[in-house]
Amino acid sequence: MLLAQVDGQTQAGLSIELGTMLFTLATFLLLLYLLSRYALKPLLSVMEKREKRIEELITGAERDRKAAEEALKDAEARLQAAREEAEAILVRARNMAEKEAEAIIQAARHESERLRDEARRTIEEERHRAVAALRREVAHLSVKIAERILEKSLDEQTERSYAERVLEEVGGLR
């Protein structure tokens, strides 16, 4: 439509002249050249630098993320190792406590048996002493009875009954 109007005819009061159009086109191209050379190249250079900087930041961030993941894995591994070591320490402590408890129980049993044996020996000794004292007493009483029998000069039947009584008493004491 513009080309149709170039020949100098006007439509609705607008007129376009070829010279003005060529001058505008030349000015536009010159402006485009100047912008591309002095403004666009530095602008593109700044944008490229910024793009490289962003790529470096992304690369650095990715590297840092990987390092953080590795550090996290390492920390988790150390934490797991610490948990396992703590569990092993607890198991050893329980085992030691059980062994010590068993040792204490064994010591108490041995002490109990020793005290029991000692008490039995003491009781046995006391019984032997009591039996010995009883025998001495029986012997003493027998001598007394014999003295009385001899003093009284009892008949044979009385002597026999005394002797039987003494034997029964001595036999009952055993």
pLDDT for 6 equals 47
User: How would residue 154 be classed by pLDDT, with cut points 50, 70 and 90?
Assistant: low
Max avg pLDDT among 18-22, 138-142, 156-160 = 18-22
* Average pLDDT score, the chain: 84
Res. 159: pLDDT tops 80: no
pLDDT of residue 132: 83
pLDDT of residue 42: 80
Specify the higher pLDDT residue, 10 or 164: 164
Report the pLDDT value the prediction gives residue 28, as an integer from 0 to 100. 96
Residue of 124, 168, 165 whose CA lies nearest to 148: 165
pLDDT at 50 over 90: yes
57-111 confidence digits (pLDDT tens): 999 999 999 999 999 999 999 999 999 999 999 999 999 999 999 999 999 999 9
